[in-house]
Amino acid sequence: MAYLVCAILAVTCLALGLKVFSMRRAARSILRELSEKLSEDTNTLISLSVSDREMRRLAAGLNRELRALRTARLRYSQGDQELKDAITNVSHDLRTPLTAICGYLELLEREPMSENAARYLDRISERTEAMKALTEELFRYSVVLSTAEDMTPEPVDLNAALEQSAAGYYAALTGRGIEPVIRMPEEHVVRSLNRAALSRILSNLFSNALKYSDGDLEVTLSGAGELSFSNGAADLDPVQVGRLFDRFFSLEAARNSTGLGLAIAKTLAERMGGSIAAGYEDGRLTVTVAFPA
């Protein structure tokens, strides 16, 4: 009798062990397939070879969530593409009339007019130029978002690129009383990047310093391919700094900007395998862009 009981217990334990093993294997399979489905752009669903009712119910529930997620992704993708197309069309449509307005303003400036009329015309010209610059920035952003933009990499000397960009902004910086301090290693730091995209990133970072600096700017290039732009910015706070890379975010002090400069820099840096981040400590804003070897 005791032998029969032991045999039954042994068979029961073996059956339970096989059941647990089967369920653990099914759980690992579900986890693996779920990770694959989330990381890949595919319409396939989770499949199971086990017949356990609860595990198959779990897989079915996850498949329902995957379908809902794909629907949401498709809706977002379509909406985002519509937004990109709208930005491109609007910015393109604005360029032609703005160019015409600028031309007529130049002709009007040659005409005799009163002192008040001349002053008003100056204000109109200033705002028209500002609007023209905003439209160009919007158009550049739409081009950056386009997947058709050429991002072919080539060996680029970061030292030389930084020197060239700093020279281009030197007059604008000193005009605001900012004497830039540039630090870079003696050895040349070379990375495989798109030259035009890197130039646009550096240009946007210098432009950002012009907007937010309290009167100083330190730019440092490290041998590891990390560029940091640091300046005093007492009017900022950590919350605002955390949103600097958001599309269309712009502070009141920078109302002549669409807030797209750093968003463009972030997009371009990430497309080239780099990263960009902003920090704020003791009243100083530091924007760091890194291109690992």
pLDDT tens, residue by residue, 31-67: 777 777 777 766 777 776 667 777 777 778 777 888 8
| DSSP code of residue 103 | H
State the pairing for strand pair 181-183/154-157. unpaired
Domain covering 154-290 assigned CATH 3.40.50.300 in the classification? no
For residue 107, count CB atoms less than 10 angstroms from its CB and return exposed for 0-12, middle for 13-18, buried for 19 or more: exposed
Tokens at 7, concatenated: 């045999």
pLDDT of residue 125: 85
Angle at 117 between CA 116 and CA 119, to 5 degrees: 65
pLDDT in tens, 261-274: 788 888 889 889 99
What residues contact residue 247 under an 8 Å CB cut-off, 6+ apart?
141, 259, 260, 263
pLDDT per residue as tens digits for the range 141-172: 666 666 555 678 899 999 999 999 999 999 98
Alpha-carbon distances of 20 from 14, 16, 23, 27, 51, rounded to whole Å:
10, 6, 5, 10, 13
Name the pLDDT band for 133 (thresholds 50, 70, 90): confident
* 285, 218 contact by CB (below 8 A): no
Selected residue with higher pLDDT from 117 and 289: 289
pLDDT at position 256 over 60: no
CA distances from 231 to 165, 186, 199 (A): 17, 23, 20
76 within 8 A of 106, measured Cβ to Cβ: no
Which two three-digit tokens encode residue 24? 């653990």
pLDDT at 229 over 90: yes
Nearest to 205 by CA among 182, 186, 177, 175: 182
More confident residue, 111 or 142: 111
> What is the structure's pLDDT at 4?
67
Candidate from 10-14, 59-63, 229-233 with smallest mean pLDDT: 10-14
Q: How confident is the model at residue 255 (pLDDT cuts 50, 70, 90)?
A: very low
Q: Which residue has the higher pLDDT, 275 or 38?
A: 275
Please give the average per-residue pLDDT across 240-268, as a whole number: 69
H or E element: which one contains 63?
Answer: helix 53-109
> Could you tell me which CATH number the domain at 79-145 has?
1.10.287
HEC sequence for 136-179: HHHHHHHHHHCCCCCCCCEEEEHHHHHHHHHHHHHHHHHHCCCC
Residue 103 confidence (pLDDT): 83
pLDDT over 90 percentage in the chain: 22
